[in-house]
Amino acid sequence: MDVIVIGGGLTGVTTAYQLRAAGHRVCVIEQHATVAQEASFGQGGLLLPTPLDVWFGPGLAFGMRQMLFGSRNGMIYQPGLSAGARRFVRQLNAAREPEPFAAQCEKLRPLIELSRRTLVEMESRHAMEFEQRDGVLHLFRTPRELKQAASALALLAQFEYPHQVLDGDGCRGVEPSVPVGEALAGGVFFPYERSANCPLFTKQLKTLLDEHDVEFALGRRADSIRLDSGRVVVEMTPQSDHANGHRGATESIAGDALVLAAGANTQALLAQAGMRVPLYPARVHALTAPIGYEEHAPHVAVVDYESRVSISRLHNRMRYASAPVLQGRRKTFRTTPPKLRERALDTLGQAGHTWVPGAAKLSAMRDWDSVTLLSPDGLPVTGATAHPRLFINTGHGPGGWGLACGTAKIVADLVSGQTPEIDSNTIAALSPARFGHS
């Protein structure tokens, strides 16, 4: 089959990889000059989520305090008059309660394991090196935070995640860069979870796909899609024309199936097919800087439980990531007001200063932001739609970029008419049909 993938981020490129491995001819449409330039570019590094760092879990509650005084959980919540933002937050608050949280983690776990197997297979087959590093350490400032995480800690035992619950001295034994003078109630160490460089991985995959006749239509923006019983057609124009404020010559490409992995643009394209999914945009942030002092740089990835900021070492650089800004949909797609942006970057910088002071060369710090789509239940939106030739793979959020390796395999199996290597309950939990709108 001829399959078109819209989106050259991590999700789109991994989907193209799996589709090509299944024997399909693939074309990837990407508006930028190369791959992994938006949400994939600033990923925090954590490969796969655990119940402690799935972003919709314990501690992620919103209310008037967050609106007035800033969020203690790392997300800046400024809904203004947006009914959509408030509705989405009510859904998040419901999902974090112990019973629904446990149910969603149970649905997510098979995807985590599929993603783990798929990623290891890709690494070993192609001898890939993308700055992988073993070990993830979650740090808790106060006993209150540990109590707040009780339901997640119980799930770690229930699901038999290899982990160690540590006191403050134990945390510093695992990661000596954590300062002795900092208040530290304890932590949880995952020796076999990993961090790695997401954009580097994506670009290496593109190089492999170039060698296997996958076509990349770079610098092309997908403007419209047409679906019929026999073919799908995508019309695209040069992105440079959009940047210059005018529309140039339209190009058309036809195929047998279409996968939407277009990140923040997915919903607009889906609407052209008369479909919708209730994903909500958030603007996420990252700071990256060269390592300043090797003796202060961490050897494992560190996660600040309170702010949900991940601190990862990517070769000779440090990356601090997360700090989503959640506001009205239209405002999210505009330039963030300076004060909100400063608050987000301060959240990242404070986490770095607290747990790995002196690690980064602050004078060379570079900031980044992009829009990512969040689902109200914290699970990706992956699978078939009401149209037999249209598939979706999006909404992974900041919960671990390796999940895209598993969802790509699911989509490739569904496009091929094969039964995915995952149970039907998880397929249903990920499907866009779970919202009753697609």
Domains defined along the chain, listed by start: 2-40+201-277+378-435 (3.50.50.60), 64-107+131-194+279-374 (3.30.9.10)
Burial 128-150 (b: 16+ CB within 10 A, else e): bebbebebbbbbbbeeebbebbe
- Alpha-carbon distance of 73 to 75, in angstroms, equals 6
H-helix or E-strand containing 392? strand 390-394
**Contact criterion met (CB below 8 Å) for 184 and 168:** yes
CA dist 359 → 93, 140, 289, 378 (Å):
35, 20, 9, 32
The residues near 99 (Cβ < 8 Å, ≥ 6 apart) are none
Residue with tokens 């980044």: 368
> Tens-digit pLDDT profile for the chain (438 aa)?
999 999 999 999 999 999 999 999 999 999 999 999 999 999 999 999 999 887 777 766 665 455 545 556 678 888 988 999 999 988 888 888 889 889 989 999 999 999 999 999 999 999 999 999 999 999 999 999 999 899 999 999 999 999 999 999 999 999 999 999 889 999 999 999 999 999 999 999 999 999 999 999 999 999 999 998 789 999 999 987 666 666 668 899 999 999 999 999 999 999 999 999 999 999 999 999 999 999 999 999 999 998 889 999 999 999 999 999 999 999 999 999 999 999 999 999 999 999 999 999 989 999 999 999 999 888 999 999 999 999 999 999 877 899 999 999 999 999 999 999 999 999 999 999 999 855
pLDDT value at residue 344: 94
The single-letter DSSP state of residue 291 is B
Residue with tokens 């297979």: 121
**Contact criterion met (CB below 8 Å) for 205 and 38:** no
Pairing of strands 257-260, 390-394: parallel
**Contact criterion met (CB below 8 Å) for 338 and 88:** no
- Reading the block at residue 88, the tokens are 């989405």
End-to-end CA distance of the chain: 24
- Alpha-carbon distance of 131 to 197, in angstroms, equals 6
Q: Residue 368's CB: how many other CB atoms inside 10 A?
A: 15
**Contact criterion met (CB below 8 Å) for 218 and 30:** yes
pLDDT value at residue 291: 97
Pairing of strands 309-314, 317-327: antiparallel
Angle, helices 10-21 vs 403-415, to 10°: value is 40
Alpha helices in 36-149 (DSSP H): 64-69, 83-95, 98-126, 143-148
Question: CA angle at residue 286 from 143 to 364, to 5 degrees?
Answer: 110
pLDDT value at residue 248: 67
- Give strand ranges (E) for 13-87: 25-30, 76-78
Give burial (CB, 10 Å; 0-12/13-18/19+) of 218.
middle
pLDDT value at residue 240: 77
Residue with tokens 């395999």: 409
- Alpha-carbon distance of 197 to 200, in angstroms, equals 5
- Alpha-carbon distance of 192 to 187, in angstroms, equals 16
Q: Which residue(s) pair with 195 in the sheet?
A: 46, 133
pLDDT value at residue 11: 97
Question: CA angle at residue 267 from 428 to 372, to 5 degrees?
Answer: 85
Please tell me whether residue 128 adopts helix, strand or coil conformation: coil
